[in-house]
Each structure stands twice: as structure tokens, then as C-alpha cells.
Amino acid sequence: MPKKIIKRFLPDPKKIRDHKHLQIFGKLIHEPNLWHLNRRSVSGAFSVGLFMALVPVPFQMILAAAAAILLRVNLPISVALVWITNPLTMPAIFYCAYKFGAWVLDTPVREIEFELSTEWLMTQLGDIWAPFLLGCFLIGLLLAAISNIVIRWLWRSHVIRGWKERRRRRKARRQQS
């Protein structure tokens, strides 16, 4: 089952429930459905996590947790997938999102030299915010939709393979008797 594979990589639910930043959700975080592993919950969690990974704000984990609670999908997977955009990958991912947004808006791509300062945020970000945010939104939406379809397909094909294997074993046992 895909559950066995996923469970190997998930952190302990108690550890997540006790995380200091997730305490703002109170008792909502103890909802059993947020911890189940089934096709709907996992595919929805991938959609939430990948979409929230492309939201260019701090504390994406909290947004992913809120969306997981609201949509009743697997919380640990949603929160973990946000880390696709981490300090190492963020510049490349967000630059690609900016280029995609500029392409959609049919505006020229500006050469950007990123600098983490208030001055840069006020001058440079003001010029590129529209294509950047549009690109983040569209790529996040696309990743969410594709991941949902792929996870559901993989899960279903794995279950069907299991059914066929059980059927084959039953047939072999009947022939031995």
C-alpha cells in the first residue's frame, strides 16, 4: 500500500501536534481526519502543500496547516511539502515564476539583482510584483492540479495492482488444492 511508503517518511504526529507555531489552531489540530492516509487526503495534501509552497510569504507552513485543516486533508504532508521552497531553492523557483508571469502578461523580463533590503523591496519589487505574483499563483495552481491527478492515479494503480496480485495468489492456491 502507498500508506506504508508514506508513513516511513512522515514525522511523528505527536511531534507535529506539539509544534509551537501550530498551537494557534488549538483543538482543530487534533481532528483525526488530518492524520489519515487515504487517496483523497494524500492527493489533497499534495495540492495544498505545493500551492502554498509557491505563495511568496513568510510562515507558509502556517498557511498550509490552515488550508489542510479547512479542507480536511493530511496535515503533515501539506506542511512538509511547503519546504520545497527553501532558502536554497527559493531564488530559482521564484525567478522562474516571475519569468512565467512576465510571459503570460507579455511584458519584458527585467534583469534582477536580488538584495534583501528595504530599499530593494521598495524599488525593484514594485516594478516586478504583478508578473511575479501572477506567475507564483499560476504555477502553484498548476502544480496543485497536476499533483492531485498524479497522486490519485498512482494510488489507484497501486491498489489495482494489489487486487490483481491477491487474485493471482488465490487462483494459485485453488490450483494447488
Q: Decide if 156 contacts 39 (C-beta within 8 A).
A: yes
SS3 labels along 154-165: HHHHHHHHHHHH
Q: What is the pLDDT of residue 12?
A: 67
Domain of 136? 2-176
Secondary structure class of 25 (helix, strand, coil): helix
Q: What is the pLDDT of residue 58?
A: 85
Residue pLDDT tens, the chain, 177 long: 466 666 666 666 666 667 776 677 777 777 777 888 889 999 999 999 999 999 998 889 999 999 999 999 999 899 999 999 988 998 889 889 999 999 999 888 887 776 666 776 677 777 788 899 999 999 999 999 999 999 999 999 999 999 999 999 998 888 887
Average pLDDT across the chain, whole number: 85
Number of structural domains in the chain: 1
C-alpha dist (Å) from residue 13 to 36, 58, 133: 10, 23, 33
CA distance 11 to 161: 28
CA distance 177 to 173: 6
pTM for the model stands at 0.79
CA distance 91 to 93: 6
C-alpha closest to that of 61 among 19, 4, 32: 19
Q: What is the pLDDT of residue 1?
A: 47
